[in-house]
Every structure is written in structure tokens, then in C-alpha cells.
Amino acid sequence: MSDILRVTGLVKHFGGLAAVDGVSFAVEANQIFAIIGPNGAGKTTTLDLVSGLLTPTAGRIEVLGSDVSAATPAQRCHAGLGRAFQVVQPFPEMTLRENVLVGALFGTPGRTRADAERRADAALELSGLAALADVDAEDLTLMQEKRLEIARALATEPSVLLLDEVMAGLRPAEARDAVALVKRVRDSGVTIVFIEHVMPVVRDLADRVLVMDHGKVVVEGSYAEVTQDARVIEAYLGKEEVA
């Protein structure tokens, strides 16, 4: 199988609490893979473990077949993992182009300056930020900040892009734009793993859906499959959401 990201038996304890408790899943190349679940289900912790910001208590993470469980965040980035954060964190002292350039310069080792600048411009273009390239990153709207988050991650040339609640806080029209952006990114050849609360977005985007609750996987399947699952309805969706 062409699994691009494979997570096996992932466990993370914070003191006595098992925030992530034996999570396993595999993402195929060019899929859009959604992780959903109620607050506190362990979704963001799972992404933090995958991108190396947290050290797992147990478990194994493979990117493109190579084990990165003990690697630093930078090494995982070089191995092909990109990450956009839920709480957008631009480098405020830099322009947008410089923000993205950091990813382009350092995301893939051995790239020349000119090459990185081209890559940064391409990432800005794909994210719809080309016109704002020379603006300081502290003067952005929320939607622009989210686009910048994605552009920076794209500039590292990831095989897999981890997106944490890109739609949170966006107005409906902006959310539609964001959905279109995620599709464009996938069409450019990037596999996507995303956390999302807004169910219509999950329906529109996801090829596969993983439902988590209390740090465990409840069920994994297509959108239609998981929304019919009685455990999911009970744990997360609530009765009116299904309709």
C-alpha cells in the first residue's frame, strides 16, 4: 500500500491522564484525511505528536516508510511533514514573503536561495497572498493569517500537510474559500490530514474520517459511514447534526 503517513499505537500521558491512548491510523497518498471528535478528544495532541512538538509515551510514526518517532520537528519537516497551527502564529517582524521564505529555505535541505524564493512565491500564489507579499505579517486579517499558515507550511514542500482547525473563526464565505484552498493544495499533490469541527466542511473535503473521543479512536471510515455509526452519534454529533 502507498501509505504516506502511518501511526501505530500512539500513546501520550500527561501525568495520570492519557490524552492519546493507543491511536493507530494510516493515510494514503493524495487523500484528504479528517480527524474529528469533541473537545478534549486528543486531536491536537495527536498532531503535536506526529509533528514532533510532543514526545510520545509509546507508539510509532512513519512518514513515507521511514520511522520518525525519535526525530526532532525539523527532521520530520525535512522528511515531508508540514504543519499549520490552529492558533495562527506568524513571525510578526517579517513580511509575508519572508515568513514563507523561512519554510522554503529550511524546509528542504540543500536548496539554493533563488530556488527557495521561487518556491516561496509559488506558495504565496497558491494561497492567494501574492498581492500582500511585502506587507508586514502583523497587519493581517484572520483569514489572511490562516492563508499564511498554509503558505508557510506549503513552502517546506511537504508530502503530508497537517492542518489544525483551519476554518475556526471564519465567516461562511471565508470558509468556502478555505475549502477551495485545501482542495487546490491537494490537487497540487499534497496529502492532507486535518482536524475540523465544522461538519459540512468535513463532508465536502474528507476522503476518510477518523473519529476520536477520550484519546481513543471511535471509528474510521468514509463520511457517510462514520455519521451513521451509533457510537459517533452518541459521542460527538448529537441528534440534530446528523439530519
| Residue 24-63 contact track with other proteins, rule CB under 8 A, x = bound | ---------------------------xxx----------
Q: Write down the least CB distance from residue 153 to other proteins, Å.
A: 8
Measured CA to CA, the distance from residue 9 to residue 61 in angstroms comes to 9
Single out the residue of 46, 156, 191, 227 in contact with other proteins (rule: CB under 8 A).
156
Measured CA to CA, the distance from residue 100 to residue 30 in angstroms comes to 23
DSSP letter for 24, please.
Answer: E
The phi and psi torsions of 224 (rounded to 5 degrees) equal -60, -45
Q: Which stretch binds other proteins (CB under 8 A): 17-25, 30-38, 69-77, 195-203?
A: 69-77
Nine-digit cell at 108? 528542504
Residue placing its CB nearer to other proteins in the complex, 58 or 130:
130
| Residues 179, 143, 194, 30, CA torsion sign | positive
Contacts of 94 (CB under 8 A, 6+ apart): 102, 136, 137
Measured CA to CA, the distance from residue 20 to residue 45 in angstroms comes to 7
| Residue 174-213 contact track with other proteins, rule CB under 8 A, x = bound | ----------------------------------------
Number of residues that bind other proteins (CB under 8 A): 38
Q: Which chain residues interact with other proteins by CB under 8 A? A: 51-53, 72-74, 77-78, 82-83, 85, 89, 91-94, 98, 101-103, 105-109, 113, 116, 118, 121-122, 125-126, 130, 133, 152-153, 155-156
